[in-house]
Structure formats: C-alpha cells, structure tokens
Amino acid sequence: MKNILLFIITLVGVSTIVEAQVPKMKYGVKGGLTLATLSDLDDAKLHKDIHLGVFTELKFTEKFSVQPELLYVRQGVKQEGTIYSSTDSYTMEESFLKVVTLSYVYVPIMAKYYLIEGLSVEAGPQVGFLVKDNSIFGVTARDSYLDPETSPKKVDYGLNMGAAYALPNGLFFEARYNLGLQKINEAGSKNIKNRALQLSVGYKF
C-alpha cells in the first residue's frame, strides 16, 4: 500500500514538473502600418507602408513568454531636394525624388514580460532577408536609376523593443520599434541602417 501511495505521489510530482516545463502555445496573425526611415541620410522623410505576419507565443509562466515570428515588411525612406549642375555658361537646377522601398522577410524572436494581465513589454533580436528592392532615384531631366549609395545588402539584423495589450477575446494591439544594427548599403561612405516603427493589430488563437 505504501509503495502504491509513493508511486502515485511520484507520478503526480513528475507530471507537475513536466507540465511546468512544457509551455502553453498560442498561434496568431498580425499586420499593420510601418513608419520607416534610414539613418545617416539628409532630409529623410518617413516611408509609410505595411507589414504582415504570423507568430507562435510560447508561454512558460503567467509572466514570461517567448514569441518567434515570421513577418513580411516593406520599409525604406523618401527624400526630396534639388540638384545643381554648373557649366561655363549656366547653372541647371533639377528637382529630385528618391524613394527607397525595401521588402524583407524578418524573423524576430521576442521575449515578453506581462506587467499585468493583458499588458506586456517585449524585446528581442531579429534577422531579415531582402526579397525585393523597388528603390528609384528620379531626376526630372534624366532617366530613373538606382542610387548606389543605398543599394542594400541581402541580409539585415537588428533589435526590437515594444509593448502590447491583449484583450480576453484574443484581439491585441502592439507598438514596436526596430533599431537596425547592420549597415545595409553595399557601397558609399554613409552608414545607412534601417529604422522602423510598427503599429500592429492582431489576433491570438
């Protein structure tokens, strides 16, 4: 009888430990507005675009979880200005519009801490892979061409930080800032890095 009781107690204890080690999993989708720019560029204006993705939240305790994600993000920068070119007889003034639009697939891994029920803060690294470059450098009197100063590398990485609030029905709202740590331009002297604010709405299943 004692052996049976000991076996039951041990089984319950092991089950509790195993259950405590296996995180609760939730899946979700998210999307929203990206407000982006590039560092070390003069007269840079925000580039407004979209991001979409899926994620899995692995909740280890009531307070702590880890959230790997897969995101499609369009970001970049806009610049407007004037170029002056001089000859012996005259000076020509040309307006230009530079639009850098870079599409990445990012893989963030976020550590989340719940301050109170529903409200969390988060931080974590991400790596991104460039899938499309629609950047143009247009001048009124010339053909459009790709600006070599911002021709991007194929891989980007950075650090994310943000906060989110989830409702009991699974709907959540999130604000996240991405600080790019990789110089993305292949050529040129400027140290150009991605900067982006993501405002998201999502749903957890």
Write out the H or E segment, with its range, that includes residue 157.
Answer: strand 155-166
More confident residue, 151 or 144: 151
First to last CA, the chain: 45
Question: Nearest 5 degrees, angle CA 104-CA 47-CA 74?
Answer: 15
Q: What is the pTM of this model?
A: 0.80
Encoded tokens for 194: 């991605």
Please give the pLDDT value at position 135.
76
d(CA 156, CA 105): 10
Beta-bridge mates of residue 132: 103
Instruction: Look up tokens 């009888």; give the residue.
Output: 1
More confident residue, 13 or 112: 112
d(CA 27, CA 69): 10
More confident residue, 14 or 88: 88
Beta-bridge mates of residue 94: 83
Average of pLDDT values for 163-178? 98
- 37-79 per-position pLDDT tens digit: 999 887 788 999 999 999 999 999 999 999 999 999 999 988 7
